[in-house]
Amino acid sequence: MEVFDGKKAAQDYMSKHTLAFSTPELTLMRFSFWLGDSVPDSKNDGKGIPRMMTYLTEQDFEPVLIDDDTYVPSGAVKSSANVGNAYNEVKADGKFCSECGTTLSMTAKFCPECGTTQE
């Protein structure tokens, strides 16, 4: 899959242009025009391509899709006892995970220990 390397393009642009008195909007506009300028194509003699095409790189990875309905714990947080909740709740009846039995807040959508979706 070809991916645009915006960081390399921005570094090349910033290293070749002085922007001492430019506003962020003007800098961004000039950068976008610079990316659209026609440059010689190294693969086809006498042809021109937009400069943006020279910053495409081949990468072998699948895109990461984020699914809001599935949670897989990373293991970064071992116990939810040390993690705060935006809603400070003190309930006597409580809510428990149907899979592992961990105590959950009333607003929990997923169990932080096993990742099971809660109703």
Q: What percent of the chain has pLDDT over 90?
A: 1
Read off the pTM.
Answer: 0.40
Residue 3 in tokens: 């991916």
- Residues 70-81 have pLDDT tens digits of 777 776 665 555
Q: Number of helices and strands (H, E) in the chain?
A: 2, 6
pLDDT tens digits for range 18-35:
765 677 878 888 888 889
Range with top average pLDDT, 27-41, 62-76, 84-98: 27-41
